[in-house]
């Protein structure tokens, strides 16, 4: 049995639509893995003195005390030092935020209190101290829920910001509660669909999709699409619709609705300019290679693939150097820079990471495609190293890369089977089947092919993998 060549071309497999796209609009770049640390003993001293005063005069319902605890928590979290000290500071900050939350939850609820907590949460979020921000947003939502309907603008504002933060933190328990809430609220949400609003609803749809709740994922994406179409004059409408169509295609693939998914191929998502240019170049090369393959000119396809690999490897090396430089500048600004310089360094680091990730992704894809051409030429000794390199090169084993990785594993299994190494071939095909079955369903061609290979190798399929 032979696999079709270059399955990534032009939407021919689910992974082409499931690529993790760059959001059209985000109000803030939340980077929970790189919180801002900067020693500020004066701020710490002021907050400590404020807490001492609040202990002497806690105010009505202890609200002065709660505010002082929150101030000291925020002054404590960013303090620098060795990692052990940072961890201790973070724990102390969260403990103080929890004590403040206990006071706020017991106090008389008001819109003013909820707005103050939302403001504090944004301050923590904007410096990427995500656990502290999460605690404050949760307190704000608990207060506003006591006085307002779930569809109230203030309640929706807090819920959307909390959803976006929980998504950045991969906090599934929080999203389990918020995603259904946002789905129910979207028809009544009168806020402009932009910035945090748009990104939060997308995060909710993605959460449903990852939880295999495709019905609610589709309902949310459809409702968002209607809202975007209703704002057709907005310059952001077209890219947002492309993004939503890409999301819808992923959902259709997961449901086995392959024709509906492939009908969305002309509307695939475009990324940000630099990443989009590289993806376009890669697609053009893949398309040209596929044309050569269809006409039987495998050596010409191989030459194109090898030339593309050389360009991509050079681009990847350049992007890695730029990333190292951006990382060094970020670290320097964290020690010495002002707020504006720190923000600029952070933006450069985020962009450098995007660029490096895109080049790395392109390298893995082209290694797999070039390996397939070598395989078709009967050069399994040259194909196998390319397959192995591709598996090592993918920057992530989650999301859309699942499909590409399992395709490469299936190709490797065919090489091992042809060499007579049935045990390795069987292990790889069982892994492919176990991974793709819960994602694509039993009738998907890739799943059926893996099952056929397993049967030919004389063993039952492995148990399906639990979807992450």
List, for residues 169-215, the tens digit of each pLDDT value: 888 899 999 999 999 999 988 887 777 788 899 889 988 887 888 89
| Distance (Å) of CA 373 to CA 3, 296, 312, 390 | 11, 11, 18, 14
Q: Rounded CA gap, 67 and 264, in Å?
A: 51
CATH code that applies to domain 17-267: 1.25.40.10
Domain boundaries, the chain: 9-15+272-456, 17-267
Nearest of 125, 123, 66 to residue 98 by alpha carbon? 66
pLDDT exceeds 60 at position 22: no
| Distance (Å) of CA 155 to CA 114, 146, 272, 337, 383 | 9, 10, 32, 36, 56
**366 and 312 in contact (C-beta within 8 Å)?**
yes
Q: Rounded CA gap, 242 and 219, in Å?
A: 17
pLDDT (tens digit per residue) in 280-338? 677 778 777 877 887 788 888 899 899 999 999 999 999 999 999 988 888 888 777 67
Q: Do domains 9-15+272-456 and 17-267 have the same CATH topology?
A: yes
pLDDT exceeds 80 at position 5: no
The whole-model pTM stands at: 0.56
Tokens of residue 71, six digits: 């101030």
pLDDT class for 239, splitting at 50, 70, 90?
confident
Is 9-15+272-456 a domain of CATH 1.25.40.10? yes
Percent of the chain with pLDDT over 70: 85
pLDDT (tens digit per residue) in 329-383? 888 887 776 777 777 887 788 788 888 888 888 899 899 999 999 998 999 999 9
pLDDT class for 416, splitting at 50, 70, 90?
very high
pLDDT class for 51, splitting at 50, 70, 90?
very high
Per-residue model confidence (pLDDT) at position 144: 95
Per-residue model confidence (pLDDT) at position 399: 60
**What is the DSSP code string of 390-422?**
HHHH-S-SSTTHHHHHHHHHHHHHHHHHHTT-H
Q: Rounded CA gap, 2 and 376, in Å?
A: 9
**370 and 379 in contact (C-beta within 8 Å)?**
no
Q: Which residue has the higher pLDDT, 341 or 407?
A: 407
Q: Rounded CA gap, 208 and 456, in Å?
A: 37
> In the chain, how long is the greatest CA-to-CA distance?
85
Q: Let me know the angle formed at the C-alpha of 255 by 456 and 462, rounded to the nearest 5 degrees.
A: 30
Q: Which residue has the higher pLDDT, 440 or 57?
A: 57
Tokens of residue 404, six digits: 């590409």
Q: Rounded CA gap, 144 and 157, in Å?
A: 10
Residues 6+ apart with CB under 8 A from 220: 182, 183, 186, 201, 204, 205, 208
In 255-400, which ranges are continuous DSSP H helix? 258-262, 273-294, 298-336, 339-376, 380-393
């Amino acid at each position: 049995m032979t696999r079709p060549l270059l399955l990534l071309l032009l939407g021919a497999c689910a992974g082409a639509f499931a690529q993790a796209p760059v959001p059209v609009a985000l109000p803030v770049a939340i980077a929970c893995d790189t919180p801002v640390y900067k020693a500020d003993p004066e701020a710490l001293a002021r907050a400590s003195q404020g807490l001492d005063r609040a202990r002497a005069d806690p105010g009505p319902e202890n609200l002065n005390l709660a505010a002082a605890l929150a101030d000291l928590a925020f002054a404590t979290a960013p303090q620098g030092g060795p990692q052990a000290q940072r961890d201790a500071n973070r724990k102390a900050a969260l403990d103080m935020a929890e004590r403040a939350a206990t006071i706020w939850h017991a106090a008389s609820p008001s819109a003013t209190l909820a707005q103050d907590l939302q403001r504090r949460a944004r301050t923590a979020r904007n410096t990427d101290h995500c656990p502290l921000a999460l605690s404050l947003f949760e307190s704000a939502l608990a207060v506003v829920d006591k006085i307002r309907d779930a569809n109230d603008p203030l309640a929706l504002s807090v819920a959307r910001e909390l959803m976006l933060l929980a998504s950045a933190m991969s906090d599934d328990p929080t999203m389990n509660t918020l995603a259904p809430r946002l789905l129910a609220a979207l028809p009544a949400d009168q806020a402009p669909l932009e910035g945090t609003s748009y990104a939060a609803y997308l995060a909710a749809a993605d959460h449903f999709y990852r939880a295999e709740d495709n019905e609610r994922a589709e309902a949310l994406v459809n409702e968002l699409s209607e809202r975007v179409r209703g704002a057709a004059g907005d310059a952001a409408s077209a890219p947002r619709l492309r993004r939503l169509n890409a999301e819808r295609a992923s959902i259709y693939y997961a449901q086995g609705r392959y024709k509906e998914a492939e009908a969305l191929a002309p509307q695939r998502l475009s990324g940000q300019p630099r990443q989009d240019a590289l993806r376009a170049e890669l697609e053009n090369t893949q398309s040209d290679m596929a044309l050569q393959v269809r006409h039987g000119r495998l050596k010409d396809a191989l030459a194109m693939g090898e030339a593309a690999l050389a360009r991509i490897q050079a681009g990847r090396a350049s992007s890695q150097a730029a990333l190292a430089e951006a990382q060094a500048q970020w670290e320097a600004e964290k020690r010495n820079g002002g707020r504006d310089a720190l923000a600029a360094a952070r933006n450069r680091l985020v962009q450098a990471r995007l660029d490096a990730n895109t080049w790395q992704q392109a390298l893995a894809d082209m290694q797999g495609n070039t390996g397939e051409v070598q395989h078709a030429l009967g050069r399994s000794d040259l194909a196998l190293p390319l397959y192995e390199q591709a598996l090592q090169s993918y920057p992530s084993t989650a999301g859309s890369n699942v499909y590409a990785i399992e395709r490469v594993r299936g190709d490797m299994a065919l090489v091992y089977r042809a060499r007579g190494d049935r045990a390795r071939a069987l292990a790889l095909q069982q892994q492919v089947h176990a991974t793709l079955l819960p994602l694509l369903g039993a009738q998907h061609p890739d799943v059926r092919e893996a099952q056929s290979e397993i049967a030919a190798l004389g063993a039952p399929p492995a148990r399906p993998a639990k979807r992450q």
